Amino acid sequence: MNDRIWLILGAVLAGLSVGSGAFAAHGLDGYFKQKYARAEPREVAGVKIPAAQKYLQDFKTGAEYQMYHALALLLVGLLAQSNRSAAWSVAGWSFLLGTILFSGSLYLLTLTGQRWLGAIVPIGGVLFLVGWAAVAFGVCCGTRS
């Protein structure tokens, strides 16, 4: 895939991450308090916390990881400009799909309360790991142009 695509997608995902973070900071608190008012508290590290607080933090985690991997896509685009390697396509696709599955599932889980979406989140995490391994491979073993 063209290295510019990764740069464009990285920039778009970074911008959307900022929007998601702002939405979490300024619009979701009240929504989650109302939506999860009757929900059982969630246990985190042995401490029970209100479901609204847990889901707000989960949404923010989605935005945070989206930003990290948007920046990673920018890195992939920059590295691909000077080092031709299939590793950049593997890394780019892994970061893009990982963001959709990890962050997207967290967004949907928290907004809808559909807890089965939590089963998808780890798949996104594995794709992030694959992406970082591909970056390492591309840097150490990629073809120089």
Could you state, in order of their start, the residue ranges of all structural domains in the chain?
3-144
CA distance 93 to 118: 21
What pLDDT digit, counting tens, does each position of 82-139 carry? 888 899 999 999 999 999 999 999 999 999 999 899 999 999 999 999 999 999 999 9
What pLDDT digit, counting tens, does each position of 11-55 carry? 999 999 999 999 998 989 899 999 999 999 999 999 999 999 999
CB 52 within 8 A of CB 35: yes
CA distance 2 to 31: 41
pTM listed for this prediction = 0.92
Could you tell me which residues are beta bridge partners of residue 49?
42
